């Protein structure tokens, strides 16, 4: 359930505080104004407890203080049970990352003490507060029937944090209200992606993904879904080979956001949408297969980004989003190791491993979108276990044919606090993709540089950029960025401002990037 964010003009000396919990931030090297104000209002309760508990106000340190009636202003603050004191660290070090961590710590604490609403007394960045609070408050509990029953039985005890109230000195300006709503939109989009990844593969089929994409209804937004026959006509032999073993029909999803007025840039986003990756006939061992519902995380992020873009309606930037959705299953109809298939751009591929299926679906997806001649292509894919080995499970791998594009997206990632690190695409490794019977093999050889092998393979299907006259080709490949999210699509532990589980990465980075190009 998504938390509601409301604002309230509030005067501490006149108005009653009618909420269950209040968050007060304090620096480690000096007291904030709100600390001083509320300390006065509670007859010195805050400073007394801070001393008693040795609370140092280090960043994200939290202390829950029960407010005795005797300490409350006369006849007021009846419902206020707790003050959550949160450390902000040193005043001079208090930047975006520290702010996010402090907000996250406060919301986690508010959840832990079972209040249904919490208010913040002094806020400097409205967007950051709304966004971070929703991201941290997220949980996926749809299938927990036992917990639900227990919760209704003991309603008084187990509450859900449903509302965050921002207390403001003055009436909010329009720009502040817009900041809150854009924070909400971006966090909600991330939660849409998370929900899709959490949902099991028995629900999230290619058809389900297509239906989720169709739910986006907005101005300047169009969606088209191609079925198997339409993909056959387009000669998408690589994508369809992956799909042929499954009883679930493949769905090739195309979403286009095209605002009125001059288009400065056309960005293509391609998300890997393998709704379940069993490995196919090159079957995965059970442990490796257990989490393979997450193999559509790239497409989940793509749908998340398009949800946000449809609502934010940026001007000057066109987005084409592609998801070649399919399952990868073994069966009598499945593609085999050794099969030779032909992708949409005419290149032939010897399948040496049916578990390297993501790059086959992406091959046709990027070849297809290249025909629209976008200014750049960004693919997001849970592509290789090797990327996880290289960078661990909180960091995505970046590979590119255009350093400037990578640098721009990485700058957005850094702003958003999503970890990404560049891996090379060395020509030396292209030889590993050579086949003795076809143009390429899909899985590379040797078990080394696995993340790069995946990147180098996809690059073979990125089209050339057509020049402005549209007749002559410039001969240069379309700038392309590959984001391997095999690791960070799922956080094994709670991480910064994200709960354990589906992360929704890199929705926020890409929304930020698109907006920065508008």
Active-site residue set: 284, 359
Structure tokens at 92: 């001079």
Q: Which residue, 176 or 355, is less far from Zn ion as judged by CB?
A: 355
Determine whether 209 is exposed, middle or buried from the number of CB atoms within 10 Å of its CB (0-12, 13-18, 19+).
buried
Q: Which is nearer to ligand BES, 75 or 447 (CB)?
A: 447
Check binding of 512 to Zn ion (CB under 5 A): no
Residue 284, CB-side half-sphere exposure with 13 Å CA sphere: 17
Q: Which two tokens stand for residue 328?
A: 């990868």
| 7 or 352: CB nearest ligand BES | 352
- The nearest distance, CB 376 to ligand BES, in angstroms, is 24
What distances in angstroms separate CA 429 from CA 379, 426, 455, 456, 457, one per listed residue?
Answer: 21, 6, 11, 8, 10
Q: Which residue is nearest to ligand BES (CB)?
A: 385
Distance of closest approach, residue 307 Cβ to ligand BES, in angstroms: 23
Considering only residues 350 through 409, tell me which ones interact with ligand BES, judged by CB under 6 A: 353, 355-358, 382-386, 388
Strands 265-277 and 376-381: parallel
Task: Choose which of 358, 455, 487, 506 interacts with Zn ion (CB under 5 A).
Answer: 358
Contact track, Zn ion, 257-296, x by CB under 5 A: -----------------x--x-----------------x-
Residues 183/131, Cβ–Cβ less than 8 Å = yes
C-beta of 280: minimal distance to Zn ion in Å? Answer: 7
Looking at residues 308 to 347 of the shown chain, list those that interact with ligand BES (rule: CB under 6 A): none
Q: H helices of 358-486, where?
A: 358-370, 385-391, 403-416, 450-459
H/E stretch holding 210 reads helix 206-214
Q: Quick one: what does residue 378 bind among ligand BES, Zn ion, none, with the CB cut-off 5 to 8 Å set by partner type?
A: none
Q: Is the separation of the CB atoms in 336 and 204 below 8 Å?
A: no
What is the smallest separation between the CB atom of 443 and ligand BES, expressed in angstroms? Answer: 4
Least distance CB 389 / ligand BES (angstroms): 9
Pick the binder of Zn ion from 355, 379, 418, 460 (CB under 5 A). 355
Q: Give the whole-angstrom CA distance, residue 84 versus residue 68.
A: 14
Contact between residue 336 and residue 273 where contact means Cβ atoms under 8 Å apart: no
Which positions lie near ligand BES, rule CB under 6 A? 277, 295, 353, 355-358, 382-386, 388, 443, 450, 486
Which positions lie near Zn ion, rule CB under 5 A? 274, 277, 295, 355, 357-358
């Amino acid at each position: 359930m998504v938390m509601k964010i409301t604002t309230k003009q509030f005067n501490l000396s006149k108005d009653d505080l009618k909420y269950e919990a209040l968050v007060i931030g304090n620096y480690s090297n000096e007291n904030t104004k709100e600390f001083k104000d509320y300390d006065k209002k509670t007859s010195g309760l805050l400073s007394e407890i801070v001393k008693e508990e040795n609370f140092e106000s280090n960043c994200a340190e939290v202390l829950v203080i029960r407010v005795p009636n005797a300490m409350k202003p006369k006849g007021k603050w009846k419902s206020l049970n707790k003050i959550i004191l949160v450390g902000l660290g040193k005043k001079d070090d208090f930047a975006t990352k520290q702010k996010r961590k402090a907000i996250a710590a406060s919301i986690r604490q508010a959840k832990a003490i079972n209040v249904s609403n919490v208010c913040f007394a002094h806020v400097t960045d409205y967007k950051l507060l709304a966004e971070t609070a929703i991201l941290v408050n997220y949980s996926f509990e749809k299938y927990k029937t036992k917990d639900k029953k227990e919760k209704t039985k003991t309603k008084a005890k187990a509450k859900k944090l449903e509302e965050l109230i921002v207390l403001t000195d003055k009436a909010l300006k329009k720009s502040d209200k817009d900041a809150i709503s854009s924070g909400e939109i971006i966090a909600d989009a991330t939660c849409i992606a998370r929900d899709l990844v959490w949902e099991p593969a028995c629900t999230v089929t290619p058809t389900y993904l297509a239906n989720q994409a169709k739910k986006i209804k907005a101005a300047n937004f169009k969606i088209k879904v191609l079925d198997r026959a339409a993909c056959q006509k387009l000669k998408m032999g690589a994508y369809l080979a992956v799909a042929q073993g499954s009883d679930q029909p493949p769905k090739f999803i195309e979403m286009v956001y095209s605002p009125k007025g001059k288009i400065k840039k056309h960005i293509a986003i391609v998300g890997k949408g393998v709704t379940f990756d069993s490995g196919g006939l090159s079957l995965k061992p059970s442990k490796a297969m257990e989490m393979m519902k997450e193999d559509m995380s790239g497409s989940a992020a793509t749908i998340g980004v398009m949800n946000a873009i449809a609502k934010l309606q940026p001007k000057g930037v066109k987005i084409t989003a592609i998801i070649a959705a399919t399952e990868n299953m073994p069966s009598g109809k499945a593609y085999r190791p050794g099969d030779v298939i032909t992708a949409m751009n005419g290149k032939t591929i010897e399948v040496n491993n049916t578990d390297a299926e993501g790059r086959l679906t992406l091959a046709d997806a990027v070849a297809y979108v290249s025909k629209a001649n976008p200014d750049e292509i960004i693919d997001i894919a849970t592509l290789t276990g090797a990327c996880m080995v290289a960078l661990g499970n909180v960091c995505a791998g970046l590979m590119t044919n255009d350093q400037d594009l990578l640098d721009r997206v990485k700058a957005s990632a850094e702003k958003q606090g999503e970890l990404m690190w560049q891996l090379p695409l060395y020509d030396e490794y292209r030889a590993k993709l050579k086949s003795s019977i076809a143009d390429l093999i899909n899985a590379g050889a040797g078990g080394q540089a696995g993340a790069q092998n995946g990147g180098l393979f996809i690059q073979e299907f990125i089209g050339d950029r057509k020049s402005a006259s549209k007749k002559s080709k410039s001969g240069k490949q379309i700038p392309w960025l590959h984001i391997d999210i095999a690791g960070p699509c799922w956080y094994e532990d709670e991480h910064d401002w994200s709960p354990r589980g589906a992360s929704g990465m890199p929705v926020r980075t890409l929304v930020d990037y698109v907006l920065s190009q508008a």
